[in-house]
């Protein structure tokens, strides 16, 4: 066989082999996405929330120089809440859920607008672990609801019926420090709802929201002012859900002047914590084997 014929044959076989591999492994030519193993759980499209079954959405891989603001403009807060994630935890290399139609999530809440068990209570807090969401009710009517970050697998948030017994606007963790290990982890606008048998307290408070269960058992809410003070980002704080809940549940309109320190409360709002951890899929929903 002549050399030229050999070259043609090798080229032909190589083309056939490459084409076969593309057909066999479509992921090799797919759009950028998180690592299939995703050990850091950076693919938020894999966090399964039951309330999203009737909302059409698609995964979006965050590329360099992209942010929620650059991608969605004034609607960035809607997408952040939809993903239960804060701006500090949206970075290149991760994947988020994006609604096909932004109008579908403008009034989104996974919680009932009226909740019968709360009807006889002036104020009632419902935390749904499966949805990673918190609702504030007055006589059964939902007055506002916000994303939350509950305990992770090894340190789950206790479920059951509790009540707010203590407020502490400037509380800090006695057990955990910030990532740089320089100071105790801030727990601004803290509302204690339970003390475990091991004498560990559980609070509702300001914290980072990475888009999945992440705490040591407490329930965290957005507070970008706390993040700016501690981590120097974001520069323009917008999301302040922990402040809103604190003021509603234990503010000076409800109780006496707030010293900012730990104070016991009488007749604090009831807190119901229900559900189990959301399922984390082995593969993205769009994955085709």
Domain boundary pick from 53, 80, 105? 105
pLDDT, tens digit (0-9, with 9 covering 90-100), for 219-272? 999 999 999 999 999 999 999 999 999 999 997 777 778 888 889 998 999 999
Rounded to whole angstroms, the Cα distance separating 220 from 188 reads 10
pLDDT, tens digit (0-9, with 9 covering 90-100), for 29-69? 334 455 566 666 789 999 999 999 999 999 999 999 999 99
Give the model's pLDDT for residue 253: 75
Residues 255, 129 share a domain: yes
Residues 84, 50 share a domain: yes
Residues 127, 207 share a domain: yes
CA atoms within 13 A on the CB side of 97: 27
Give the model's pLDDT for residue 31: 45
pLDDT, tens digit (0-9, with 9 covering 90-100), for 98-126? 999 999 999 999 999 999 999 999 999 99
With respect to residue 286, please indicate whether it lies within any of the assigned structural domains.
no
Q: Say if CB 57 and CB 98 are below 8 A apart.
A: yes
Rounded to an integer, what is the distance from CA 142 to the centroid of its chain? 20
Q: How confident is the model at residue 274 (pLDDT cuts 50, 70, 90)?
A: very high
> Total structural domains in the chain?
2
Rounded to whole angstroms, the Cα distance separating 223 from 104 reads 25
Residues 215, 134 share a domain: yes
Torsion of CA 187, 188, 190, 195, to 10 degrees: 20
Residues 151, 52 share a domain: no
Residues 264, 146 share a domain: yes
With respect to residue 16, please indicate whether it lies within any of the assigned structural domains.
no
pTM of the model: 0.84
Tokens of 208: 């980072």
Give the model's pLDDT for residue 185: 79
Residues 240, 131 share a domain: yes
Residues 124, 94 share a domain: no
Q: How far is CA 228 from CA 71, 235, 239, in A?
A: 22, 6, 11
Residues 268, 187 share a domain: yes
- Decide the pairing of beta strands 184-195 and 201-206: antiparallel
Give the model's pLDDT for residue 56: 96
With respect to residue 122, please indicate whether it lies within any of the assigned structural domains.
yes
With respect to residue 245, please indicate whether it lies within any of the assigned structural domains.
yes
Residues 264, 242 share a domain: yes
With respect to residue 14, please indicate whether it lies within any of the assigned structural domains.
no
Q: Say if CB 218 and CB 205 are below 8 A apart.
A: yes
| Structural domain containing residue 48 | 29-33+41-105
Residues 74, 196 share a domain: no
- Kindly report the number of other CB atoms within 10 A of residue 32's CB atom: 11
Domain boundary pick from 77, 105, 133? 105
Q: Say if CB 66 and CB 93 are below 8 A apart.
A: no
- Taking residues 195-211, what's their average pLDDT? 95
With respect to residue 17, please indicate whether it lies within any of the assigned structural domains.
no
Domain boundary pick from 105, 134, 155? 105
Domain with residue 206: its CATH number is 2.40.440.10
Rounded to whole angstroms, the Cα distance separating 240 from 76 reads 15
Strands (E), the chain: 47-48, 57-61, 95-99, 124-128, 133-138, 141-147, 160-163, 166-177, 184-195, 201-206, 219-221, 263-264, 270-274, 279-280
* pLDDT > 80? residue 17: no
With respect to residue 209, please indicate whether it lies within any of the assigned structural domains.
yes
Residues 122, 89 share a domain: no
Q: How far is CA 264 from CA 154, 204, 242, 253, in A?
A: 29, 15, 19, 16
With respect to residue 15, please indicate whether it lies within any of the assigned structural domains.
no
């Amino acid at each position: 066989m002549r050399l030229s014929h050999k070259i043609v044959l090798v080229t032909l076989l190589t083309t056939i082999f490459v084409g076969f591999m593309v057909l066999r492994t479509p992921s090799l030519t797919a759009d950028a996405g998180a690592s299939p193993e995703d050990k850091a759980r950076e693919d938020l499209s894999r966090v399964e929330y039951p309330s999203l079954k009737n909302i059409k959405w698609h995964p979006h891989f965050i590329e360099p120089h992209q942010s929620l603001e650059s991608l969605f403009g004034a609607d960035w807060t809607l997408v952040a809440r939809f993903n239960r994630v804060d701006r500090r935890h949206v970075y290149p290399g991760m994947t988020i859920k994006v609604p096909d139609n932004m109008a579908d999530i403008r009034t989104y809440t996974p919680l009932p607008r009226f909740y019968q068990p709360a009807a006889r209570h002036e104020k009632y807090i419902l935390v749904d672990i499966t949805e990673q969401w918190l609702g504030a009710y007055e006589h059964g009517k939902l007055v506002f609801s916000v994303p939350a970050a509950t305990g992770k697998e090894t340190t789950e948030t206790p479920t059951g019926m509790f009540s707010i017994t203590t407020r502490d606007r400037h509380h800090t963790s006695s057990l955990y420090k910030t990532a740089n290990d320089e100071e105790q982890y801030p727990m601004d606008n803290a509302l204690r709802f339970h003390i475990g048998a091991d004498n560990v307290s559980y609070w509702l408070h300001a914290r980072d929201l990475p888009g999945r269960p992440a705490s040591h058992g407490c329930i965290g809410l957005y507070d970008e002012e706390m993040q700016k003070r501690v981590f120097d980002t974001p520069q323009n704080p917008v999301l302040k859900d922990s402040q809103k809940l604190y003021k509603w549940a234990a503010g000076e309109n409800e109780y006496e002047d707030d010293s900012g320190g730990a104070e016991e409360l009488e007749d604090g709002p009831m807190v119901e914590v229900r559900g189990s951890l959301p399922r984390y899929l082995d593969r993205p929903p769009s994955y085709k084997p």
